[in-house]
Amino acid sequence: MLSLQEYISIKLHKVDLKLTGYIKAKLEPFNIAPEQNLIMMLLWEQDGLTQSQIAAKLNKDKTNIARMASNLEQKGFITRQACPHDKRSIKLFVTEKGEDLGKKVIPVAEQFNELVSGGFTKKELEELDRLLTKISYNLD
């Protein structure tokens, strides 16, 4: 029988808690939660994604994305608009306030990534990505 410390799922959970706690504290001054920031990161990369596209990219429930988008809109970081060719689809667009947020938050995200990947070689990071992807596939 495995000890509690030998379960890979426990180790991953502990790391996830540390990652989430760290980035949550770093994002708090900007009035944005880590999951909301994931949406913003996608929009800073490609403005005008639909809520469905974001849900698929983040592997999140569409209802959850809609709720977070509403919250981001209330904060003034995005606007939501119905697609002209499909009124059921909602596109998200970054506002000027959202662009200003990006200028502050993207460097924080980059520093966080550097901290997390510190000490790893490029080959080790590629292997870690491969292994995490394998775990995800195992769960599917």
Beta bridge partners of 90: 82
* Domain-located, residue 126: no
CA dist., res. 1 & res. 57, Å (int): 37
Which pLDDT score is estimated for 5? 67
* Domain-located, residue 24: yes
31-71 pLDDT, tens digit each: 999 999 999 999 999 999 999 999 999 999 999 999 999 99
What residues make up the domain containing 106?
4-113
| CA 41 to chain CA mean position, Å | 7
CA dist., res. 55 & res. 37, Å (int): 14
Instruction: Identify the CA nearest to 52 among candidates 72, 20, 80.
Output: 80
pTM of the model: 0.87
* Domain-located, residue 74: yes
Which pLDDT score is estimated for 29? 97
Residues in the chain, pLDDT under 50: none
Structure tokens belonging to residue 39: 């949406």
Contacts of 116 (CB under 8 A, 6+ apart): 19
CATH of the domain at 60: 1.10.10.10
**Domain count within the chain:** 1
99 CB neighbour count, 10 Å cutoff = 13
Structure tokens belonging to residue 65: 């994305």
